[in-house]
A and B are shown apart, each in its own frame.
Chain A
Amino acid sequence: MDTKEMIKINQLNKSFGDLHVLKGIDMTVYESDVVCLIGASGSGKSTLLRCLNFLEKKDNGDIIIKGKEVDPSTDNLNKIREKVGMVFQHFNLFPHKTVLENIIEAPIMVKGVAKEEAISKAKQLLSKVGLEDKLDVYPNKLSGGQKQRVAIARALAMEPEIMLFDEPTSALDPELVGEVLTTMKELADEGMTMVIVTHEMDFAKEVADWIVYMHDGKIVERGNPEQFFSNPKEERTQEFLKTTILK
């Protein structure tokens, strides 16, 4: 199949002071791919994701978004971020704004979308994530799962072409994980390009096109879920999977 390269990174390096966190990452994400990034705590998953959104500044290496190399010193990063949505572990909803206001904020202020249009789009997105009745509620009145679904709707309101998720269910009570994963799966089924850092192995197995395993700032192994989980090539991966409970 002839698919478009949405993200391509070459030899990406990133350090925090003396701490070398990303050690020459190469990765390609094609259109409509769902990539699950897994790995032990501190292996650099979040840092990699944040580099893709330029929330973190790379030290060196290339980041190519939709065939265009991004140069943070000259390119308008805000324009690129519009195309790359991000969902955080701790939701980061705007607590002083209602659910609706959270969602229409960026489309109106950044894209200049008319208010009525932004509102009708927001309503559409809210019913998509099953929260059409929460329009005028403030985030503090929502459960964790609802917050995360609003956060997903908020990111989608910018009509991104790529969605990044950093442990979107890690801060949730176990019984609320499912509703968020369902929303993400629907998104995947619609063909959204997604890069997901997750510890939900069952979800990864079911939804991912590719699993990428990171260890100590490097990509150790990548493969499709079937091969990756049942027949990992690298010893490191085998060890990691042993410590990870698969139901």
Chain B
Amino acid sequence: MERKEVATLPSFSHFIQTLIETKSVFLKAMLLTIELTVVSILIGIVIGLFFALLKISKIKVLEFISDAYVYLVRGTPLIVQIFILYFGISGIFLLPDFWAASLALALHNGAYISEILRGSIQAVDKGQMEAGRSLGMTKVLTLRRIILPQAFRRALPPLGNQFIIGLKDSSLAAFISMNELFNVATTLGSNNFDEMTYLLIVAIYYLVLVALLTFVVNRFESKLAVSDR
């Protein structure tokens, strides 16, 4: 049986040197990772909101559609979804690779976001809708002006969490030839017969991104916390 090659840890100086030397390649890849993440999360929020509203519509067919979507996404591995979208959809509609990857990630994130939003919408006190209605506001207007702003506020911590998961999940776009962080790390690693060094480097980039993201989300939260009950 073939024995797995054991990679040794690089020396610290070699690691630092490689980190510095490859910085422009990785920064470029990081930009793509950020683009993929932000685009897929933003579209994911739109999709998620749409399916969350279907779910709370109290219309059986729409609820079923929402349930089915969430089930399909949660019930299959992300990499399978990405391949299906990449080879299926982008073949039919001639989607650029970036958009195929973004859309796949967005559809994936959307399912989790719809669950987050559904929960936070339902957690808003029923009296809020009644107060809106009693003032002559329509259901839709009350939802838009009163319920959703409160729901989004509540959803911010889990949304931030999903944002971080989405960031890391974007590494799977490497498998449909997106030159994002992970792809660059594995390519450079195998070209230089030095996988471990590049994997450690890419881990650093992810850690920094997650730290930045956490900071931004926290800032946002404390800003919104002003009017919390």
* A binding-site residues for B, Cβ under 8 Å: 53, 55, 78-79, 81-82, 84-86, 88, 90, 92-98, 105-106, 109-111, 138-140, 154-155, 158
What is the CB-to-nearest-CB distance from A57 to chain B, in angstroms, rounded to a whole number?
12
Q: How many residues of B contact A (CB 8 A)?
A: 22
* Cβ contacts under 8 Å, A79 to chain B: 136
- Contact residue among A86, A98, A139 (Cβ-Cβ distance under 8 Å from B134): A86
Contact across chains for A96 and B135 when beta carbons are under 8 A apart:
no
Interface residues of B in 187-229 (CB under 8 A from A): 226-229
Contact across chains for A110 and B229 when beta carbons are under 8 A apart:
no
CA distance A110 to B146 in the complex (A): 13
21 A-B pairs with CB atoms under 8 Å apart are A55-B134, A78-B137, A81-B133, A81-B136, A82-B135, A84-B134, A86-B130, A93-B131, A94-B128, A94-B131, A94-B146, A95-B227, A95-B228, A95-B229, A97-B227, A98-B227, A105-B137, A109-B137, A110-B141, A111-B136, A155-B135
Asked if B23 CB lies within 8 Å of chain A CBs, one says: no
CA distance A98 to B227 in the complex (A): 8
Contact across chains for B137 and A106 when beta carbons are under 8 A apart:
yes
- Which residue of chain A is the closest to B226 with respect to CB atoms? A138
CA distance A98 to B226 in the complex (A): 11
CA distance A95 to B150 in the complex (A): 8
Contact across chains for B134 and A155 when beta carbons are under 8 A apart:
yes
* Cβ contacts under 8 Å, B141 to chain A: 109-110
Contact across chains for A139 and B229 when beta carbons are under 8 A apart:
yes
Contact across chains for B130 and A109 when beta carbons are under 8 A apart:
no
Contact across chains for A82 and B128 when beta carbons are under 8 A apart:
no
CA distance A94 to B128 in the complex (A): 7
User: Which residue, B125, B136, B137, B228, has most C-beta atoms of chain A within 10 A?
Assistant: B136
CA distance A85 to B125 in the complex (A): 20
CA distance A139 to B34 in the complex (A): 38
- Contact residue among A105, A139, A140 (Cβ-Cβ distance under 8 Å from B135): A105
CA distance A138 to B149 in the complex (A): 15
* Cβ contacts under 8 Å, A140 to chain B: 227-229
- Which residue of chain A is the closest to B227 with respect to CB atoms? A138
Contact across chains for B125 and A92 when beta carbons are under 8 A apart:
yes
What is the CB-to-nearest-CB distance from B36 to chain A, in angstroms, rounded to a whole number?
32
Closest 5 CB pairs of A and B: A82-B136, A92-B131, A106-B135, A92-B127, A86-B134
Task: For the A-B complex with A93-B131, A96-B150 known, give 14 more contacts whose Cβ atoms are closer than 8 Å.
Answer: A55-B133, A78-B138, A85-B134, A88-B131, A88-B134, A92-B125, A92-B127, A94-B131, A96-B149, A96-B153, A109-B137, A110-B136, A110-B141, A138-B227
What is the CB-to-nearest-CB distance from A195 to chain B, in angstroms, rounded to a whole number?
13
Asked if B60 CB lies within 8 Å of chain A CBs, one says: no
* Cβ contacts under 8 Å, A82 to chain B: 135-136
* Cβ contacts under 8 Å, A106 to chain B: 132, 135-137
Interface residues of B in 84-139 (CB under 8 A from A): 125, 127-128, 130-138
CA distance A78 to B140 in the complex (A): 12
Contact across chains for B128 and A110 when beta carbons are under 8 A apart:
no
- Which residue of chain A is the closest to B149 with respect to CB atoms? A96
Asked if B145 CB lies within 8 Å of chain A CBs, one says: yes
What is the CB-to-nearest-CB distance from A204 to chain B, in angstroms, rounded to a whole number?
23
